[in-house]
Amino acid sequence: MKALLDLGAALESMVTSFAIGYIKTELVRRAVAASLYAALWPIALLQFARVVDNPFSVAKARSEKAGLVLADAIINRAQGQRPLTLVGFSLGARVIYTCLLSLAERNAFGLIENVVGARHILMVILKR
């Protein structure tokens, strides 16, 4: 939960910084130093990437660990003998993806009946 809150805070910070940057851009564009500012914009882009990348990387790593834990729970039949339907979006889809990869590596087939998630994750699964 902390990783998701950090991700939200980072995104909020990025949007605020982007808004301030946009205002600065408009002011500089109308000023004499427009050519100097145009040369410096990649530095600002790297600063934005650093702020967002770290919380997202943490949240992604934790979702992959959760997928492995979910695969263990499914193999140990924590849900009983019935097949499961897994539903996920965004990082939840990443959890499902990691879980399915782990189940496939362990040859644990027939435990999952349906998967509903982000379209690009399902396309990757269907191509395998």
Report the candidate in 66, 98, 91 with the shortest Cα–Cα distance to residue 4. 91
Sign, CA torsion 73/74/78/84 = positive
The reported pLDDT for the residue numbered 114 is 85
Report the candidate in 93, 91, 10 with the shortest Cα–Cα distance to residue 49. 10
Which contacts (CB < 8 Å, 24+ apart) does range 7-16 have? 7/55, 7/56, 7/58, 7/59, 9/55, 10/51, 10/52, 10/54, 10/55, 10/56, 11/52, 13/51, 14/48, 14/51, 14/52
* Alpha carbon distance 94, 88 (integer Å): 8
Report the candidate in 62, 63, 65, 68 with the shortest Cα–Cα distance to residue 106. 68
pTM over the 0.85 mark: no
Query: pLDDT exceeding 90 applies to what percent of the chain?
Result: 19
Structural domain boundaries in the chain: 2-127
- Res. 70 pLDDT band, cuts 50 70 90: very high
- Res. 106 pLDDT band, cuts 50 70 90: very high
Residues for the chain: how many in total?
128
Amino acid type, 94: R
